[in-house]
Structure 1
Amino acid sequence: MSVFIHAHATAAQPSNVRLTVAGLQRRAQIRVDHWGVAHIYAESDDDVFFVQGFNVARDRLFQLDLLHRKGLGHLAEAFGPSYVEQDRASRLFLYRGSMREEWTRYGPTAQRNVTRFVAGINAYIAWLGSNPGALPYEFRTFGYRPESWSPDDVVRIRSTGLNRNVKSEVARAKVACKASLGVDALRLQLKPAWTTVVPDGLDPCLPGDVLKVYELATQSPKLAAGQTLANAMPSPLALGEEALTEGSNNWVIAPNKSATGHAVLADDPHRAYTVPSLRYFVHLNSPNLDIIGAGEPAAPGVAIGHNAQIAFGLTIFNIDQEDLYVYRLNPKDASQYWYNGAWEAMTTQREKIAVRGGDAQAVTLQFTRHGPVIYIDAGTHTAYAVRSVWSQPGSAPYMGSLNYLSATSYAQFTAALAHWGAPSVNQVYADVSGNIGWVTAGMTPRRDNWDGLMPVPGDGRYEWQGVWKGDVLPSSENPPQGFITTSNEMNLPPGYPLAERKIGFEWANGARHARISQVLAQLQKVTLEDSQALQNDQVSLPAQRLVALLAPLQSQDATTAAALALLKPWDGKVAATSPAAALEEVWFSRYLGNAYKALVLTPTQAASFGPPDTEVLLNALEHPDSAFGQNPIAARDELLLQTLGEAYKALAELQGSDNSQWQWGKLHVNAISHPLSAAAGADRALLDIGPFAKGGSPYTPNQSSYDPNNFRQTIGPSARLIIDLGNWDNSRAVNYPGQSGDPTNQHYRDLAPLWLQGKYFPLLYTRAAIDAATEQVIDLVPAGMR
């Protein structure tokens, strides 16, 4: 049975709204379909971007305002003094370079398009001034007003850029401090195989909260329960702990392998679950544009989707775009650091942060030549600063997509991506002529004398030699296998000169990519339904490998024997209703890794980091060596049986002694909290989404990362997209929990049932199909025009 939800055959007559809007040049129209997707029709590019801004403010104003306040460091003005520290952190990471150079990186019309987009946002905010009854719930409830935007705001905010790898550098340094870099190889597998060293002059024993300011700058704000205006402060980074979390899947199918006879492109970005979603679907139609897809709500255009000729979809490509620098400070003047044989002064800026209910607070921001200072240890006369592509022109998140909105060929698309800054991406491509391709893009620091895997002294010995040109990154067009797929895995081609270029060594586990490749390779002709099933696939290859180790094992212990009986016949499908999946996930996430660490490491070494790398652990279990002792296989088997029995007992305590009633989804749930819900009292149910039972794991194509302390889902595919290049109206998508950010709007949570069932709505493109599925028409008229 198809899991594609078709357009309503007998749609009710759409409602009509007419709004007079200052700043609009000519008449325009928004047609909202049954799934909340806005199809915008305007008579010029200037107006289509203006209406895009107006429309996203209409649907997502609170989200926009929160992103704006968070990015610029204006939270305290709305929410009070508890946010001053986070505001200061955010201001440290604003882009502060040449705006002229910044704008040129996004193409000749970028500044104009962004200016019109922002004018549209501001026009809606102004319209609310005359229509206060339409002010969104959050502003009315918490008593504040949305801020106006400037065009520069869109590109200056960098703290949502998904750059990497400063947290992993700190994690590795802490393991080096407490144990050794050899032990760190158990924490995270470097790919391809690589041996790093502690940089000359670095003391790897860093302060435990060295990244507190960085975390504040990059985390989302929330109000805390019982405190009307308070900040949920982050915990310091756990010792040696770092996870590669956010990712995605994408693939593209060539016509000769597609059941439609045309190319098909699929993309499902994996992001933190938020309400509203971090993606927003929109359709822009003007004389020069006809493009539909999903993008960041606070940016014009779309990042994934299609125009009339090409389709495109991205995943993260793990370029190392960050470094932590460590400085020796002048004991007589802490604003000076040692650089190239002399004391160099930090740049100091003093700013005032407006505070709701109180006086403005003065803060000091300090910068070295490398970037913002995030920590000063007065006792050791040491400072720490982050160097990142964030500070470089052209690195506003996803803004590089403006360069390819009008591309019509692989050559044009590739040329546009040569200017892409951040985040670094795998882009898959397809066109109506039947071509498919893969292009990697992102600003890539050039580190000639180190590998970027550890913090480095900031004394001048470890400098970027600029950035690599875009053509050093890999790409592929029309491969013979008839498909391309990426899932954040290490996908550098054989022979790639990584030792010279050192673009990155930290990649996601390859299980999702391997499973997707396995399925696509087995299919002679891939249908759109095959792509849907694959986006929702819950088969875990690591779980299958783990269960295979149990095949020859027996146990006299009744509990362990029951666990073996449950897992041995299991197929590795991590379904929400599966008893075996519940046992395997509890076993693997809570027991097996820790027990392995305790077996092969000293207590001090084991305490230096969290769970071991999945691939390293599985390889060790599949090929036990002397680390297990004199009889490695017997010790390995004892470890498996002992931890499996412990996990079975723990799950019985959680879900009862009858294992036929166990379900992974009873533990593993998706529940999204609105940023303000903890302070919303009785309205919390209006704002929050879930909980819903969920299947999947971090290693299934239907990716479902979770916190092993409570098993709650944290990361996954809130947005999915499948594009049929032979019939645009046959394309499909879903955006969990809904398109709207207004909790009183029907489209706030209406897509949650589709998402939970692995279903989709039609992503309509042609005017006839859109008209047939329209539920609301919003006619926009320029001020002064009748």
Structure 2
Amino acid sequence: MKYIGFFVAFALTIALAVAVSRPFGAIPPLAPLLDPNNGFWQNTFSEDELAEEELELSNLSAEVKVIYDENLIPHVFASNDADLYRAQGYITAKHRLWQMEFQTMAAGGRLSEVVGSLALDLDRMTRRKGLSYGAEKGAEFIKENDPESYLLLEAYADGVNQYIDQLSDARLPVEYKILNYRPEHWSAFKSILLLKYMTDMLVGDRDLEYSNLRKILGEVMLDKLYPEYPQGVDPIIESGHKWGFKSLSVTRPDSISYPDNLLLIDPMPQPEDGTGSNNWAVSGSKTKSGNPILANDPHLSLNLPSLWYSMQLTTPDHSVKGATLPGALGVISGFNEDIAWGVTNATRDTRDWYKITFQDNTRKAYRYGDRWEQTTFRIEEIKVKGEKVFLDTVVYTHYGPVVYDKTFNSNRQDVNFALKWNVHEGSNEQKTFLLLNASKNHEDYNEALNNYTAPAQNFVFASKSGDIAMRIQGKFPLKWRGQGKFFMDGADPRMEWQGYIPNDQNARTLNPSRGFVSSANQHPTDSTYPYYVFDNSFEFYRNRRLNNQLKGMSNITVEDMQGLQFDDYYLHAAEALPIMLGLLGKDSESDAVAKKYLALLNEWDFYADPNQKAPTVFYIWWKKTYAHIWTDLTNNIAPVVLPSYYQTVLFMKNEPTDSIFNLKNTADIETAATHVKQGFKEMLVDMAKWEADEGDFSWANYKRTKIQHLVPQFKSFSVDNVYTGGGSGMLNATSDRAGASWRMVVELGEEIKAFGIYPGGQSGNPGSKYYSNFINKWANGEYLNFDLRKSDQAEGVLFQTILN
């Protein structure tokens, strides 16, 4: 057996080396990789086998105790904040160093240093949209306005660097060995950059696509297909909420002139499909125990190592536990002895695009009203592994960087598109989480959120005192109605933002009469909110399912909330399928194969459980139908965004013979029924092929959820075909590559009860038994006990380390 394991590991290593060589350049030196003392063999040990009872850590003012539970979750006990965050940096690096550095290299546009020219265009885009620039502004802001926070950021970095400095070749994470590079020192800047990277992951814009749609469709049809407040909106802040403040006035120009040509560039990458989240809190009036219960499950790409790293952080002043973000201080989603909080993406448009008109080819000045404004130049030096340094000149205007120009994504002289984004302004999101970690009540929660700029988030809150709350927090531009929806002329000063919505006028609610607060990335408010609110990606299914369930529930328990997080009711299918069956008619019932699928659909209860087959049939049929309906839009040469599923279903139901269903380039007159029938025919073809090739078309086998390593080519470090239900648009939003990256449920009684899980493990080492050991529990809707620990608690201890 020993020799079988040897040859399997040997073959895996060679395969990885060859696989890496293809997309990334030269094969790494195999001798160090296969060295039995320092090579990949040393990464087959799990952390409990390498446990150290005592470690020397400089710059501590007192001893720090770290207790690991049976799941390798560290519980850090320190005498003060500086020691706590220095220890957090050290412990996080010990288990997630490669992930921390790889993500910040991606955020800084530095992947070419590691993988070569393959990543050059990605690095150029990252730098051109100004993530590092924004992090630099953030560092300046924190140093000037909150030097105490900056000292804590430096303490965290010191902890990381002390780990790096004592890191032997044997203990080097295996990704460094395969890609043949070593870690560099951490810094406060990198922690700030990491939070800017999260902003980039979660913020989208469709200004360029909407501008194309306006040109193609005209404003009347655009408003019909893409209404800003569709029928049936169920907002985050309960409808009818009284705002209680006097809003600022916004001046809308008398006439607006938009650039009128089709925009034929490739739009900037947007948040991946499936990015979203759920959170909610129910008051004691609706729970069996009489205590508030809070739940949070952020939906992001499912990766290994996991985005999250669980920890408890304790000083004499507070004890907090939950999900940390490797590289950032404190707990991001979690609870302490008094409160709990969680986050979902607020999906607000805080990025706008402006056409820049330069004075001449030197690009040293650009038109702004009746004058010429001076530009600045930022030279981005991109190191490329095995090649010369690539120099990229980015022009900065007062709006922001000119991302697209004749040198990038266009060869046209007139393409000069500048990006205005609040991430380029100084802010201190780190302070929000430092304060939240130690908050005791609703007042503290609000004070913490006052420091938060981006990415805009819906912060849910509950406390032992019985309060529940929701606040939609970010730094939101003050815009006239429609501003920022389309590409704007940067030469026209009337296109400027008119300031920001005051922090105390961001939408929020405290203890609403309905007994719960909730968010699932839908519209933040009803139409009575006095400020312009827009995004192209508001959610329409998870939020209504969640609110309908919460409205009807009483005597709620923690188990009920866990069940709701794992709920895979397919509301989109429940609303669309009866309409589609009606439009299909009886013609297909004479075909034996069609009858088989129709029988599955007619008997379906609309739950997308992993063993169900109907979800697969519906999903394929819907995708084919939807694609046919919007054929004319997808056939345009200019990039566009398609109408939402929700709006499409409303048209199929209420206006099935409307001209929107008629295709331009055919002799026939198409209706909704035409597309449904064509979609059904194509579904039959796809299903026949699937059954012939794969056989089983149960939902889990069809969608094939994958937890993928951050380097996709490292397939051996990924987990394929996770058997679980759910899907996009469901509360259990587990699709093929995205889903609940962290699930947490907390009951805030006299003794807090908490539960959490994520699809991965605490270790970043693929050779560790703690690398992916949570996945099966997560896939089955199970949880770990996440209660706070005491420093002298004996049970469930894996090992203990003292930092001196």
Q: Structures share a fold, TM > 0.5? A: yes
Does structure 1 residue 41 correspond to structure 2 residue 77? yes
Structure 1's 588 and 728: CA in aligned 2 closer, same or farther, altered over 3 A?
farther
Counterpart CA distance in 2 for 1:696 and 1:409 is 35
What amino acid is the match of 1:97? K
**Equivalent residues in 2 for 1:205-220, closer than 5 Å:** 205-209=262-266, 211=267, 214-215=268-269
Q: CA deviation at 1:607?
A: 8.5
Structure 1's 494 and 82: CA in aligned 2 closer, same or farther, altered over 3 A?
closer
- Of 22-31 and 535-544, deviating more is 22-31
Q: CA deviation at 1:677?
A: 5.3
- Of 288-297 and 116-125, deviating more is 288-297
Counterpart CA distance in 2 for 1:645 and 1:726 is 56
**Contact 1:178–1:604 (CA under 8 A) maintained in structure 2:** no
Counterpart CA distance in 1 for 2:150 and 2:639 is 48
Return the match for 2:743 from 711, 720, 733. 720
Q: Which residue of 2 aligns with 1:119?
A: 158
**Contact 2:117–2:385 (CA under 8 A) maintained in structure 1:** yes
Return the match for 2:703 from 647, 668, 672. 668
Q: Which residue of 1 aligns with 2:392?
A: 363
**Contact 1:178–1:608 (CA under 8 A) maintained in structure 2:** no
Q: Which residue of 1 aligns with 2:141?
A: 101
Q: CA deviation at 1:727?
A: 6.2
Q: CA deviation at 1:375?
A: 1.2
What amino acid is the match of 1:475? R
What amino acid is the match of 1:456? M
Q: Which residue of 1 aligns with 2:286?
A: 257
Q: Which residue of 2 aligns with 1:203?
A: 260
**Contact 1:394–1:421 (CA under 8 A) maintained in structure 2:** yes
Q: Which residue of 2 aligns with 1:405?
A: 437
Return the match for 1:647 from 683, 688, 692. 683
Counterpart CA distance in 2 for 1:638 and 1:363 is 51
**Contact 1:670–1:694 (CA under 8 A) maintained in structure 2:** yes
What amino acid is the match of 1:569? E
Does structure 1 residue 704 correspond to structure 2 residue 734? yes
Q: Cα deviation per residue 1:730-762 (whole Å; 9 max; x = unaligned)? A: 311101111221112221100011011111111
Percentage identity across paired residues of the two chains: 23
Counterpart CA distance in 2 for 1:331 and 1:14 is 64
Does structure 1 residue 173 correspond to structure 2 residue 211? yes
Structure 1's 458 and 165: CA in aligned 2 closer, same or farther, altered over 3 A?
farther
Q: Which residue of 2 aligns with 1:231?
A: none
Counterpart CA distance in 2 for 1:517 and 1:269 is 17
Q: Which residue of 2 aligns with 1:584?
A: 618
Q: TM-score normalized by structure 1? A: 0.85
Counterpart CA distance in 2 for 1:181 and 1:245 is 29
Counterpart CA distance in 2 for 1:258 and 1:609 is 46
Q: Which residue of 1 aligns with 2:229?
A: 191
* Structure 1 residues without counterparts, runs of 5 or longer: 1-11, 219-241, 706-712, 782-786
Q: TM-score normalized by structure 2? A: 0.83
**Contact 1:280–1:735 (CA under 8 A) maintained in structure 2:** no
Counterpart CA distance in 1 for 2:210 and 2:712 is 36
Q: CA deviation at 1:714?
A: 2.5
**Contact 2:281–2:461 (CA under 8 A) maintained in structure 1:** yes
Counterpart CA distance in 2 for 1:164 and 1:200 is 30
Structure 1's 694 and 188: CA in aligned 2 closer, same or farther, altered over 3 A?
farther
Q: Which residue of 2 aligns with 1:542?
A: 572
Counterpart CA distance in 2 for 1:28 and 1:367 is 46
What amino acid is the match of 2:156? F
Structure 1's 185 and 159: CA in aligned 2 closer, same or farther, altered over 3 A?
farther
**Contact 2:205–2:535 (CA under 8 A) maintained in structure 1:** no
Q: Which residue of 2 aligns with 1:617?
A: 648
Q: CA deviation at 1:363?
A: 3.0
Structure 1's 79 and 51: CA in aligned 2 closer, same or farther, altered over 3 A?
same
- Of 44-53 and 361-370, deviating more is 361-370
**Equivalent residues in 2 for 1:541-560, closer than 5 Å:** 541-549=571-579, 553-555=585-587, 556-558=589-591, 559-560=593-594
**Equivalent residues in 2 for 1:126-137, closer than 5 Å:** 126-128=165-167, 131-137=168-174
**Contact 2:333–2:341 (CA under 8 A) maintained in structure 1:** yes
Q: RMSD of the TM alignment (CA)?
A: 3.2
Structure 1's 546 and 748: CA in aligned 2 closer, same or farther, altered over 3 A?
same
Structure 1's 288 and 100: CA in aligned 2 closer, same or farther, altered over 3 A?
farther
Secondary structure of the structure 2 residue equivalent to 1:568 = helix
Secondary structure of the structure 1 residue equivalent to 2:574 = helix
Structure 1's 350 and 267: CA in aligned 2 closer, same or farther, altered over 3 A?
same
Q: CA deviation at 1:536?
A: 0.7
Counterpart CA distance in 1 for 2:661 and 2:652 is 15
Q: Which residue of 2 aligns with 1:150?
A: 187
What amino acid is the match of 1:668? K
Q: Which residue of 2 aligns with 1:506?
A: 536
Q: CA deviation at 1:301?
A: 0.8
Q: Which residue of 2 aligns with 1:73?
A: 109
Structure 1's 548 and 449: CA in aligned 2 closer, same or farther, altered over 3 A?
closer
**Contact 1:729–1:769 (CA under 8 A) maintained in structure 2:** no
**Contact 2:691–2:697 (CA under 8 A) maintained in structure 1:** yes
Q: CA deviation at 1:494?
A: 5.4
**Contact 1:198–1:204 (CA under 8 A) maintained in structure 2:** no
What amino acid is the match of 2:381? K
Secondary structure of the structure 1 residue equivalent to 2:567 = coil
**Equivalent residues in 2 for 1:90-489, closer than 5 Å:** 90-92=126-128, 93=130, 94=132, 95=134, 96-97=136-137, 99-103=139-143, 109-128=148-167, 131-156=168-193, 158-162=196-200, 167-184=205-222, 188-191=226-229, 200-209=257-266, 211=267, 214-215=268-269, 245-377=274-406, 379-394=412-427, 400-448=432-480, 450-459=482-491, 460-489=493-522
Secondary structure of the structure 2 residue equivalent to 1:542 = helix
Aligned residues: 719
Q: Which residue of 2 aligns with 1:9?
A: none
